[in-house]
């Protein structure tokens, strides 16, 4: 028999043994007392109260963090902070005027979404236009990920809040049954009210922390995605203005228009056609 089969057989024997001993441990009177119950009976009540305060402290910390993250999202997840229209128009005017040095200097110091993408593209100008496009896409993707990661802690708090509440609920129920055990099964409702009340309050506070965080996260995650998508489209449009073909076409059109104007100016004025004498 292989080692794996031996482990399986040993596990099966252990499960059967536990199943057979459970009724005896659960029996009252002179029956056996399970180890968890025996351990609970020897624990002082202050241990449960310490765990209770620990869970409450974690919920308070989560609620304060959620409020701070919500305020941070309100301040920073805005179009005027990520891609201001004034900055976009200034970039468009620099590109239209072929002021590449000023464009380089401006994008190097500006911290907005589109400027960072264009600066990454301009730095790859010596590697042709496909490299510029790839550099800008990488920069925009990195900025988008950074913005979304800034919102992610709210999602984490929204998912951990109910778990902390559940932890407090289980702790409260343990306290209630501990009180029942301490009275030998003759506990009054007042003896159980403390643990059950703690369990319900923990559940309430866990949901109270989680629900607003998930709502704010959903709203600002959608808003950030909308702003980033719009800014990426604008950045692609501005990058097309830096394509070498577009500048060549513009210079060709200027040359054609200037040559046509020169030809028009150099052409002799039409002479009057002589009329036959009658």
Could you say which residues of the chain have pLDDT below 70?
Answer: 1-43, 245-278
Residue 107 lies inside a defined structural domain of this protein = yes
Structure confidence at residue 271 (pLDDT): 53
pTM given for the model: 0.68
In angstroms, the CA 138 to CA 132 distance is 10
Is 72 exposed, middle or buried (CB count within 10 Å of its CB: 0-12, 13-18, 19+)?
middle
State the DSSP code for 125: G
With 0-12 CB in 10 A as exposed, 13-18 as middle and 19+ as buried, what is 124?
middle
Write the pLDDT tens digit of every residue in 74-107: 999 999 999 999 999 999 999 988 888 898 999 9
Residue 6 lies in a domain: no
Q: How many domains does the chain have?
A: 1
pLDDT at 224: 94
CB 182 within 8 A of CB 188: no
Report yes or no on 77 lying in a domain: yes
Q: What is the pLDDT of residue 161?
A: 92
In a domain, 37, yes or no: no
CA distance 168 to 175: 10
DSSP 62: H
Residue at 138 is within a domain: yes
Distance CA 264, CA 261 (A): 5
Domain containing 236: what range?
43-243
Residue 35, domain member (yes or no): no
Q: Is residue 165 part of a domain?
A: yes
Determine, yes or no, domain membership for 72: yes
Q: CA torsion 37→39→40→46, rounded to 10°?
A: 180
Q: How far apart are CA 132 and CA 120, in angstroms?
A: 7
- Radius of gyration, alpha carbons of the chain: 37
């Amino acid at each position: 028999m292989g080692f794996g089969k031996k482990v399986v057989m040993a596990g099966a024997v252990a499960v059967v043994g536990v199943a057979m001993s459970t009724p005896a441990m659960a029996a009252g009177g002179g029956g056996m007392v399970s180890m968890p119950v025996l351990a609970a009976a020897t624990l002082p009540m202050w241990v449960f109260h310490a765990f209770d305060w620990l869970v409450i402290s974690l919920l308070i910390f989560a609620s304060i963090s959620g409020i701070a993250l919500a305020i941070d999202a309100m301040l920073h997840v805005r179009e005027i902070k990520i891609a201001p229209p004034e900055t976009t128009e200034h970039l468009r005017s620099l590109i239209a005027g072929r002021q590449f040095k000023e464009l380089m200097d401006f994008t190097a110091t500006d911290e907005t979404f589109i400027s960072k993408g264009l600066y990454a593209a301009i730095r790859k100008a010596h590697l042709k236009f496909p490299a510029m496009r790839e550099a800008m896409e990488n920069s925009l993707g990195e900025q988008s990920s950074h913005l979304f990661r800034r919102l992610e802690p709210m999602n984490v708090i929204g998912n951990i809040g109910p778990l902390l509440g559940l932890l407090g609920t289980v702790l409260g129920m343990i306290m209630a049954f501990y009180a029942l055990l301490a009275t030998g099964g003759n506990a009054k409702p007042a003896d159980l009210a403390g643990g059950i009340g703690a369990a319900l309050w923990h559940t309430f506070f866990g949901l109270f922390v989680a629900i607003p965080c998930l709502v704010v996260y959903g709203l600002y995650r959608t808003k950030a995605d909308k702003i980033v998508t719009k800014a990426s489209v604008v950045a692609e449009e501005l990058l097309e203005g830096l394509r070498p073909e577009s500048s060549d076409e513009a210079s060709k059109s200027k040359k054609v228009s200037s040559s046509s104007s020169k030809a028009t100016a150099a052409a002799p004025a039409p002479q009057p056609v002589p009329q036959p004498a009658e």
